[in-house]
Structure 1
Amino acid sequence: MMASPLRLLLIEDFEDDALIVLRELRRGGYDVTCTRVETAEALERALDTGPWDAIIADYALPRFDALAAFSLVQKRGLDIPFLIVSGQIGEDTAVAAMRAGVHDFLLKDRLGRLGPAVARELREAALRTERRKMQEQLLLSDRLASLGLLAASVAHEINNPLASLMANLEFVLNPDEGDGPVQASSLPAEQQQALRDCHLCAVRIRDIVRDIKVFSRTDDKQRGPLDVHRVLDSSLRMAWNHIFHRARIVKDYAAHAPVLGNEAPLGQVFLNLLVNAAQAIPEGHTTPQEIRVVTRQEGTSHVRVEIHDTGRGIPPELQDRIFDPFFTTKPAGVGTGLGLAICRRLVDELGGELGVKSALGQGTVFHLRLPTAHDVNGPRNSFTQG
């Protein structure tokens, strides 16, 4: 039977006792990679280099003890199986340690159950992790549903007065619609231009309202052929206020097949990635900075979408964590750490893939592979760029 790998953080000041612990774990079927520490400072440094599968601590050390070590682990919010071993200890102390949250307590002269105890706690930790993921997914779904209801309500309230505004502007601007009380052609040129500007702004508001209504349909799971360029353009309009004072937009659309998807979740993904790209770029120097939106055909089976930015980039050690729920590199109060977790879940539900490549000081590229809709309408289906 192949040994199970185990990354162990061992808090122990006696080399002989450390060797006994390692021997029992190997006897229990573990291939142990161990780091041994003896002080709080060394423990802090070791926790920075994690992750760790388990922590085993001697109860009393010359400058440190197991309960203080456990407190440091708890303060970091880490859920790592934590077991205490001791030569001699009273029952009251053992009970207090377990009540504090320590996962198990063993005597050094009775380490025969160390292997099974570690195996049990690893299983329990895995179950806790799975429960947390399920709770996080429920939280994400609830937040999306709430945001969708709010967006739909706001869009509906804006739509009615907007329709009246556009109708009146068109009535004034269109001289072929009869003798209205005011004809735009009879107004000074400056006032005619002002009315035309108002009409253009109203059209933009109408497009934004339409985009909000599309993005708010979070409960619509139906998938079908979709013009990915139209969804990208809609997301770019929604993100414009975040982008225009930071970078210029470059479109490089070359895909020609429709993707199989749903407009609302795909639009949410694009919008989040575009806003993230804008926030990675400092304000005030728009000309040299750009956000490039690229689409490419990958055979008949997939369309690739890339969102490039010339921002600060993501450190290599964080690139595997940015899709974790509630992990964020943004300052407190700026980000919740949910955006990219939501994006990955939505892309997975659409049958696609979402990944990232980044280098510090050179920018970031988020890339999506989306299945084409050739199974729905045939492999030669195509659409025009928006």
Structure 2
Amino acid sequence: MSESTKVLIIEDLPTDAMLVEHEVREVLPETSYLVVETAPDFLAALDSFQPDIILSDYSMPQFDGLTALKLAQEHAPDTPFIIITGSINEETAVACMQAGAWDYILKERIMRLGQAALAALERGKERLEKKRATEALEQSETLFRSLFEQHAAIKLMVDPVSAVIVNANQAAAEFYGWSREQLRSKYVFDINTLPPDQIRANMQKAAADKCVYFEARHRLANGEIRDVEIFSSPIESSGRIHLHSIVHDITGRKEAERALVTAKEQAEAANIAKSEFLANMSHELRTPFNGIMGMMQLLQTTPLDAEQQEFVAAAIESSKRFTRLLSDILDISSFEAGKASLTMSEFNPAEALESVLDLFHLRAREKGLDLDLTVDPAMPRSVVGDVARVKQILFNLVGNAMKFSDRGAVHVRLIPLSAAKGGDLRAMFSISDTGIGIPDDKLASLFKPFVQVDGTYTRSYQGAGLGLSIVKRLMGMMNGNGCVESEVGQGTTVHVILPFTLPARDAAKTAHAAVPRVRKEHLKILLAEDDSLNQMFMTHVLKKLGHAVTVANNGQEAVDLFQTRDFDCILMDIQMPVMTGVEATQRIRSQESEAGSQKSEDGDRTSAKGHRTSGTQVSGLIPPPSPHTPIIAVTAHTQPGDREKFLAAGMDDYLGKPVGIEDLEKVLKKIQGDKWS
């Protein structure tokens, strides 16, 4: 029973009242009691105390149980009423029960009182619930009729079997333009423009499920078609199952959605145009800048006094900063356009880290900083991932550590976090510095684009604030994560955790790598470049390195020269007049393929003369390999994916403008070692 049961006792003798309370408390320990003796007190208690059960003595000097029972019937008819008496004859008991008593208990059998009270309370609860349910049903039906008739929403009552519109409210009549009587003479097919089979399927689903939502187009009396959404649920009415359907006019929303789709398509087109514009601008900026930076590098190799050397070094450093800023802006644009991608390959993570640190050793010496690297011995020597993106992350983080540290050291650590399971590995790169640190209130905005810890006009450190934003985007692309620990004035540590896979060992590849190569000291190089300043720079550099250079002013000239001369490699610009570098490369590869097929046929004929048998190669009669001239893309197209696109077009390597002399030398050394033969 409820813990808040209230018991009202009508008794003139305190001892008897205590006895009654004792017996009831045995079965209802958590109850509250009130004892009254007179009729006025009883009526007042009914109003203020509001008992759950009434236990009344039958015979009292000023009040009797039968009178109390009649008052209870008038003021609290649903409250259980039990009469308790010391002596009662059969006629009196019958009169009490006929008057509405729920039970009567002789005082000599007072031990029955507890169970009788429990039973009376249960019966009272059931009676009250039935009464409430009946009242609720009556109210619900009245309310439903009222809501259906007067509700502002469009409502239809539909027979799911015949599809007849059984009823319609006034809002439906106003929306469709037919009277309620006219609507009750129509079928759903008359207003719904969906195919009949689909309409029947929707009604069957609505009848089977509790509530179904679907969209349609409804026809009005004037022939106008409106977009609607329909919420339909089964309801019993007049002994039959009907569908109670609420209809909302969503024509305006649908028009807004269509406008939004159009706007989205326009925005996507604008985004593509922006990306194309940035790519073209990148090319237009990098091409002349390659000439400027190249001339500065050439000037640096000539006899200069100390002041001139300082001027040239400053100009080259400024050029590098400009190039990095341009690359960062293009990276951010690629991320926003959804064009950034990963290129997976096998690489040594420790060597990748060392190659990044090599770029900072000179700056570390100039600032008096220690720059060191620790690689955990458990770290695998080879993993599969996007080495270029990994280097980009590390370059930005180490660069930041160097920028904001004027004393102490920058320490880089590489450790594996988990053992290889199923070929997977997670590695953590930690970059610690002893720099200025980062305030706690700046950490939240640290990885946002164009944000720096010191954003004032008088800030001490240069930069556009793009590096860490790019790091965050790259970590997300690679399914990695990171965190920052920092203390103002003490330094910062950035932890980056990246997932890799472990490569399958390839014995054949290892054996091939061990074959000694013949080094070519002097190369015959075809330079395909339409910009005169870049022609001058590249020609001077290549000749200084001891190589012979032939210049082609466009892709067609490059193809023509390739057909008439023998070159060790081709440095191919991409954007050229007459024929692009990609088209020229494809023409050259096609010619090589044809030449290779011809040589193979000649070799077969020679072998046949030597009695070659199928599947067996006669000693000394090896067909010559297919010709392959290394083609290196030298281009201002440096957006993510450009390198892969050019390699897929048949090129062997890639140099982005502005071209550094050291980078050019590295590529030429590969060719001198006959790597692509």
Question: Taking structure 1 as the reference length, what is the TM-score of the superposition?
Answer: 0.41
Question: Taking structure 2 as the reference length, what is the TM-score of the superposition?
Answer: 0.25
